[in-house]
A and B are shown apart, each in its own frame.
Chain A
Amino acid sequence: KAGVTQTPRYLIKTRGQQVTLSCSPISGHRSVSWYQQTPGQGLQFLFEYFSETQRNKGNFPGRFSGRQFSNSRSEMNVSTLELGDSALYLCASSASQTPGELFFGEGSRLTVL
């Protein structure tokens, strides 16, 4: 069974640009969550999608958005990038609607210059 796949793995952007990150969950998993990981703030929840609907959202500005497609694949977008957006963005899929095991991808490392 293939794991969670995130693309791209690495990317460099400049301030003010926007970025789109993609996530393919484990087959059969309908829940996809996104987390931001930084050395200073650790792992912080961005949002969760289940069956194309956003179920939960963390405390991030509106520049951070996401969506989920009918095949459960998900994308997140960050507009008007700031230096502080440099981070590892992790996607996780789950088979459960209630709190359960998260299967994380290896992440997309974003550097904003």
Chain B
Amino acid sequence: QQQVKQSPQSLIVQKGGISIINCAYENTAFDYFPWYQQFPGKGPALLIAIRPDVSEKKEGRFTISFNKSAKQFSLHIMDSQPGDSATYFCAAGADNYGQNFVFGPGTRLSVLP
């Protein structure tokens, strides 16, 4: 019940295309859903996050779509660029859990020039 599922495991997109990564969770106590981006040799960095009181949040080229009833959320990267090539992790947290987040297994994105 604590697991966060993430797909696809890897994704190849042409420059300018849309990258879509999906995540699903089971624990209804989760109420904070961040996405992290990690480059090789670096720690993850927060991209964007959402709480379940909204169904969508957009920041620049990055959009989170959230479906509370389906317990699913997704990351859309518009106009994907080679510099977006990285590993992306979705995560889920809850107020009672502090900074104890459950992370998805990650998606390795490659954007071809």
| B-binding residues in A (CB < 8 A) | 4, 31, 33, 35, 42-45, 48, 50, 55-56, 58, 90, 92, 94, 96-107
Contacts and interface: CB of A to CB of B under 8 A. Distances in A.
B12 interface: no
Interface of B: 31-32, 34, 36, 41-46, 49, 89, 91, 93-95, 97-106
Interface-central residue, A42, A43, A48, A103, by most chain B CB under 10 Å: A43
A107 B42 CA distance: 8
A44 B95 CA distance: 18
B99 A94 contact: yes
Contact of B98 (A44, A56, A106, A107): A56
Interface-central residue, B49, B91, B98, B100, by most chain A CB under 10 Å: B98
Given A99-B93, A105-B43, A106-B42, 14 more contacts: A4-B43, A33-B98, A35-B103, A43-B44, A45-B100, A56-B100, A90-B44, A98-B95, A99-B99, A100-B32, A101-B34, A102-B36, A102-B46, A102-B101
B43 A98 contact: no
A50 B94 CA distance: 16
A45 B91 CA distance: 11
Contacts of B43: 4, 90, 92, 104-107
A99 B101 contact: yes
Contact of A56 (B34, B42, B49, B99): B99
A98 B41 CA distance: 28
Contacts of A45: 100-102
Contacts of A100: 32, 99
